[in-house]
Amino acid sequence: MFNDVKNSSHATKHQFTAQINSELLLEGNEAEITSVCLNLMRNAVIHTRKGTHVHVRWFKDAADQPNLWITDDGDGIDSKHIPHLTERFYRVDNSRDKNIQSTGLGLAIVKHICLKHQATFDIESKPGKGTTFKIKFRSP
CA proximity to 26, closest of 56, 54, 62, 64? 64
Domain that holds residue 76: 2-136
User: Residue 9 has what pLDDT?
Assistant: 46
Q: What is the pTM of this model?
A: 0.83
2-19 confidence digits (pLDDT tens): 444 444 544 568 899 999
What CATH code is carried by the domain that includes residue 96?
3.30.565.10
Question: Would the pLDDT of 109 be above 90?
Answer: yes
Question: Would the pLDDT of 61 be above 90?
Answer: yes
The domain tally of the chain equals 1
CA proximity to 133, closest of 62, 48, 49? 48
